[in-house]
Amino acid sequence: MAGTAPDGGLFVPETLPARSPGSFPDAADFSAVAAHLLAPFFTGSSLAVELDAICREALDFPVPVRCLETDPALGVLELFHGPTAAFKDVGARFLAACMRRILACGQLMRPPVTILVATSGDTGGAVAAAFHRQPGIRVVVLFPEGRVSARQQHQLTCWGDNILSLAVRGEFDDCQRLVKACFADPEITGIHQLCSANSINVGRLLPQAAYYARASLEHFRRTGRKPSFIIPTGNLGNGFACVWARRMGLPIGRILLATNANTTIPDFLATGSWLPRTSVPTLASAMDVGDPSNMERLRKLYPETSQLRDEVGAAAVDDSGIRSTIADEYARHQLPWCPHTATAFHLYRQLPESERRGQDWIVVATAHAAKFDEIVEPLLGCTVEPPAELAALLDLPASFRTISPDIQALVACLD
């Protein structure tokens, strides 16, 4: 429920439990794999007896690995079949299912609780969808005015009921600053019970490890080989979950992180110097992060840079690489990929022939291309149909309030 630790750092498990591949149930059953993987983390928690039900309720959509006819050695882990068509649904739905039960037994906090979330596009929609109409919980979503795609904005603003959407006249960093300022203000926290649902919450990271567990087990049981993953990366939540899964014993080979022109992570692996910076806007906007928070967790796990370099690789892809990849992959196998997913495909195509052939690769698809139609459609010269659930959201009326980027304006909306 706390999100960040009291000292301002991030929570990490004291130890990572070992989960041998043979101990898992049928890899076809995502929620059963997740419940087995996560059980040790819930030992001693009031949620332990609920874990199966939480996984069944939250992880109720497929996370398939698609095989490409034109590239038999390559798989695509499609993480966009949830209600808001991006991988953030996995973490947001799991967190919501946990929080609802915690609040229902009134142990830590008493309702009503206000969840404050700053978003650069996909997180806000996933969190709003996951908590919509949950009793005792109100969600306030802050997004930067004019900086999200039209369909993302619709997804952030179509809910009503217990969801309040605020367009902030500023950038994502302003939204995040306002949220942090609220949590740090005793006057505000004295009146409102505030809770965060941002991507550094362990309640979002843990279930993300489960789709790597499922995909790697399925591949390993079928072929006897460990798949390697290429993961579009911004704040490193998705990629880090894969590192956890491998450390717990899942059959995962290499892990490559694909960033956009925000190169803090590849620069660090190349030079050994950690130099966070302000983000630059790119076509893969959900990855526009100049100071990836989860690096703290990765460095805790592998304190030596040399060790870290053995564990993960990283490379950056600029906007022209993203554009050409979207067009090239469509020409190759007639499938549209979103700008984020394109960074991972680009890295795959750049691998030396020997590495591409030497192991089995799975590219991770983080969002459906139809969420970024303004970017993708002109490159393909055709329309990309939104999946049914996204289409239904796009038909709902939208409403939001616009505020200036100061805390008084935000507090006035909380009352």
Active site residues: 88
Cβ distance to ligand PLP smaller for residue 104 or 280? 280
- Report if residue 237 touches ligand PLP, rule: CB under 6 A: yes
Is 235 among the residues that bind ligand PLP (CB under 6 A)? yes
- Residue 29 or 389: the one with the smaller Cβ distance to ligand PLP is 389
Q: Give the nearest distance from C-beta 52 to ligand PLP in angstroms.
A: 26
Shorter beta-carbon distance to ligand PLP: residue 210 or 410: 210
The span from the CA of 104 to the CA of 316, in Å, is: 44
Which phi and psi (to 5°) does residue 141 adopt? Answer: -105, 125
287 counts as binding ligand PLP under rule CB under 6 A: yes
Identity of the residue numbered 306: S
238 near ligand PLP, rule: CB under 6 A? yes
**Closest distance to ligand PLP from the beta carbon of 51 (Å):** 23
Residue the block writes with tokens 């694909």: 258
The C-alpha atoms of residue 219 and residue 225 are separated, in whole angstroms, by: 7
Q: Which stretch binds ligand PLP (CB under 6 A): 156-164, 237-245, 312-320, 392-400?
A: 237-245
Please give the C-alpha separations between residue 204 and each of 77, 137, 167, 297, in angstroms, as whole numbers.
Answer: 18, 18, 24, 14
**Residue 112, preceding peptide bond in cis (omega within 30° of 0):** yes
Closest approach of Cβ 244 to ligand PLP, in Å? Answer: 13
What is the nearest approach in angstroms of ligand PLP to the Cβ of residue 368?
A: 9
Nearer to ligand PLP, 50 or 318 (CB): 318
Residue type, 307: Q
Could you tell me the sign of the dihedral formed by the alpha carbons of 243, 41, 29, 198, in that order? negative
Interaction pattern, residues 351-370, with ligand PLP; x per rule: CB under 6 A: ---------------xx---
Q: Among residue numbers 20 through 79, which ones bind ligand PLP (CB under 6 A)?
A: none
Q: Is 88 in the site for ligand PLP (CB under 6 A)?
A: yes
For residue 234, state whether it binds ligand PLP (rule: CB under 6 A): yes
Q: Which of residues 176-205 bind ligand PLP (CB under 6 A)?
A: 199
CB of 165 closer than 8 Å to CB of 404: no
Tell me the torsion sign for CA atoms 357, 362, 363, 369: positive
> Which residue type does 183 have?
F
Taking the complex as a whole, the smallest distance from the CB of residue 48 to ligand PLP amounts, in Å, to: 27
Distances from the Cα of 356 to the Cα of 18, 72, 183, 184, angstroms: 29, 12, 47, 48
Which residue number, 83 or 239, has a Cβ lying nearer to ligand PLP? 239
Q: Which residues have C-beta within 8 Å of that of residue 342, sequence separation ≥ 6? A: 284, 317, 321, 322, 325, 326, 329
Instruction: Convert residues 141-180 into a mask of x (bound to ligand PLP by CB under 6 A) and - (unbound).
Output: ----------------------------------------
Number of residues that bind ligand PLP (CB under 6 A): 17
What track of x and - describes contact with ligand PLP for positions 303 through 342 (by CB under 6 A)? -------------------------------------x--
**Distances in whole angstroms, Cα of residue 346 to Cα of each of 221, 259, 266:** 28, 10, 15
CA pair distance 258, 279, nearest whole angstrom: 16
- Distance between CA atoms of 362 and 227, rounded to whole angstroms? 7
Q: What residues make contact with ligand PLP under the rule CB under 6 A?
A: 86, 88, 122, 199, 232-239, 286-287, 340, 366-367
